[in-house]
Amino acid sequence: MSKNIQIATLGGGCFWCTEAVFQEVKGVVKVVSGYAGGNVPGKPTYREICSGLTGHAEVIQITFDANSISFEDILVIFMTTHNPTTLNQQGADKGTQYRSVIFYHTETQKVIAEEVLKQLQGYFDAKIVTEISALPIFYEAESEYQNYYKENTQQGYCSFVIAPKLATLRKLHADKLK
């Protein structure tokens, strides 16, 4: 089967959570944690992002084979494994760096994102506040923040925050797993 490689850039709170989710999805070739959407020039550091002063969101960049999984399916998984109804917050993590955001790469991705959010709104009790914006620049996070869950599964945050998101993924999207 020939590959149709595409890229999606998504922020759903802490990038450790979204990275762990998409590492288990069939058709995903690579997941890279990073930062996007800020208002200060130059590559930010994790410490600068955590301050909330740069305007960047913690995001992941997913490289996927669209012959195996569609962008729409990627978005449905994304929207159902984080809370897209809390502004600038995921659980105890608060600040613009934790906002729910879809950074589109093409106009087609923008249209699909808008449609997916419309279709899913009825499944949520509150209004979806996920931002949809053109991807400005993606900055890859430092190496110690890549593959975080797999290398730190016993760490408290991983056990109490990421593991339940993975359980939701496995329950709702078993047919999309590797």
Catalytic residues: 14
Is residue 47 classed as helix, strand or coil in its secondary structure?
A: helix
Residue 103's nearest CA partner among 15, 1, 4 is 15
Q: And the tokens for 13?
A: 């709170």
Q: What is the C-alpha separation between 169 and 34, in angstroms, rounded?
A: 22
The type of residue at 49 is I
Residues 6+ apart with CB under 8 A from 102: 8, 9, 10, 11, 75, 78, 109, 113, 130, 131, 132, 133
93 bridge partner residues? 90
* Contact (Cβ atoms closer than 8 angstroms) between residue 169 and residue 24: yes
Residues in the chain: 178
Can you tell me which residue has the tokens 């984080």? 82
Q: And the tokens for 121?
A: 């709104």
The type of residue at 10 is L
